[in-house]
Amino acid sequence: MRYISTRGRAESLGFDDVLLAGLARDGGLYLPESWPEFSAKEIREMAGLPYSEVVFRVVKPFVAGVIPDAALKSIVEESYASFRHRAVAPLKQMNERLWVMELFHGPTLAFKDFALQMLGRLFDYVLRERGERITIVGATSGDTGSAAIEACRDRDQIDIFILHPHGRVSEVQRRQMTTVKSANVVNVALEGTFDDCQDHVKAMFNDQSFRDSVKLSAVNSINWARIMSQIAYYFAAGVALGAPDRPIGFSVPTGNFGNVFAGYAAGRMGLPVSQLVIGSNRNDILTRFFETGAMTMLPVEPSLSPSMDIQISSNFERLLFDLLDRDGAAVEATLTSFRETGNFALSPDRHQRALRLFDAFRLDDDQTLAEIRKYHQLTGELLDPHSVIAVAAADAMIRDDVPAMVCMATAHPAKFPDAVHRASGVTPELPEHMADLFDREEHCTVMANDLSKLKELVLSRRRNS
């Protein structure tokens, strides 16, 4: 399998190079040169298989020639072994046509574990084959740091440093990061803001000699391997509800467009995906885009669903590539002018083509709370402020000819206890394996807001062999 860039000017690469590169040299994102397709029979045979076996079958064509079957099998099995539900991604019925797929039984209680647990192990495998090591440095305002740490802990070829602003992340978020005890994980509490953390990370990447000497890398949200890993749960949900013999819709609480793009990819690979609903919060750039055909940037405002507080959805570029008939130059021209003017529009016929598959819906914070309350009363289920947007959007937008729609529940309600309590009067409990989180020992270095000290720390704490 070869991969091409959405901007058409970077050379095509194999899976291992795409994994390590993240972004293409021309600034584009990688996509498979052509989509592997499963026959109806192959899809039917996925029904009832263990989750990791579905992942193995879905991912195999994407890594063909780079990762042998036996190695892929163990990567996949290990990635999902730490999930706390035996079904890994269980489905629950909400009403006649709506289902929820719970994607929050991983180590950090959010759906990013599905991609990152695979990503850490894929990195480790490819680096070991090449005899290389990398150092990952990242900044977090609280939410993504723990998923990255859980993904990279104990990986031989990787050292990971995560910076968070000292005293400015919630105690649960901090403890999810700092109670990980692993020789290759370093938590830094920086005496500064999240922006300071991000600036230092950028500065380290911009220092070419430092960057080369420690082999700096990132666990980027645009990495193709993350999307690839997520395609599997669309197939698992689809076959459980009657695919390939019945069309399925999906509703996805959307930020960077990675999750919903995986659903789109599943459709390109033969799953009968008949509708994709995009849920947004008050940061509704995507919903406005699907309503009007025009993408118009506005400032980001904080909401109850912070993982969807975005200005630009980086993975949207992958859909744009198809909407513009895979014309890399057109993608580049469109996105360059978007960066400059904050605007672009699709032609009416392309907009109509997008609407054959996609619909979008927004909820503000008050509506989000009201919907959490409503579904708690109706079903007894507590939905977190991200997941509930998927369910409410599905309920509002499901088309008459869609017999079943799966709403992606992307975070455990206990990750957002304040909003859930405000809405329902119930404080969701942390799952059993996290119940002792407040008793565990923390490992964290408090550091002055000083770039050169940070670089010294990275150089001295990085393992060398």
Burial class (CB in 10 A: 0-12, 13-18, 19+), 65: exposed
Using alpha carbons only, give the angle 289, 280, 35 rounded to the nearest 5 degrees: 65
Q: Which is nearer to ligand PLP, 247 or 263 (CB)?
A: 263
Q: How far apart are CA 116 and CA 349, in angstroms?
A: 37
215 is catalytic: no
Residue 362 · residue 281 · CB < 8 Å:
yes
Q: Which is nearer to ligand PLP, 5 or 259 (CB)?
A: 259
Q: Which is nearer to ligand PLP, 112 or 200 (CB)?
A: 112
Question: Concatenated DSSP letters for 402-456?
Answer: ---EEEEE-B-GGGSHHHHHHHHS--PPPPGGGTTGGGSPP--EEE-S-HHHHHH
Q: Which is nearer to ligand PLP, 43 or 262 (CB)?
A: 262
Task: Enumerate residues 6+ apart whose C-beta is below 8 A from 205.
Answer: 211, 216, 218
Residue 125 · residue 71 · CB < 8 Å:
yes
Minimum distance of ligand PLP from residue 410's CB (angstroms): 3
Give one word for 326, left, alpha or beta, with left for phi > 0 and alpha for psi -120 to 50: left
Contact positions vs ligand PLP (CB under 6 A): 110, 112, 253-259, 307-308, 386, 410-411
Residue 128 · residue 156 · CB < 8 Å:
yes
Minimum distance of ligand PLP from residue 114's CB (angstroms): 10
Q: Which is nearer to ligand PLP, 295 or 454 (CB)?
A: 295
Q: Which is nearer to ligand PLP, 265 or 458 (CB)?
A: 265
From 112, 374, 415, 455, the catalytic residue:
112
Minimum distance of ligand PLP from residue 131's CB (angstroms): 33
Angle separating helix axes 224-240 and 112-130, nearest 10 degrees: 130
Minimum distance of ligand PLP from residue 316's CB (angstroms): 9
- CA torsion sign, 316 to 225 to 186 to 210? negative
Angstrom CA distances, 422 to 309, 373, 374, 416, stand at: 20, 9, 13, 10
Minimum distance of ligand PLP from residue 213's CB (angstroms): 32
Minimum distance of ligand PLP from residue 257's CB (angstroms): 5
Which residues carry out catalysis? 112
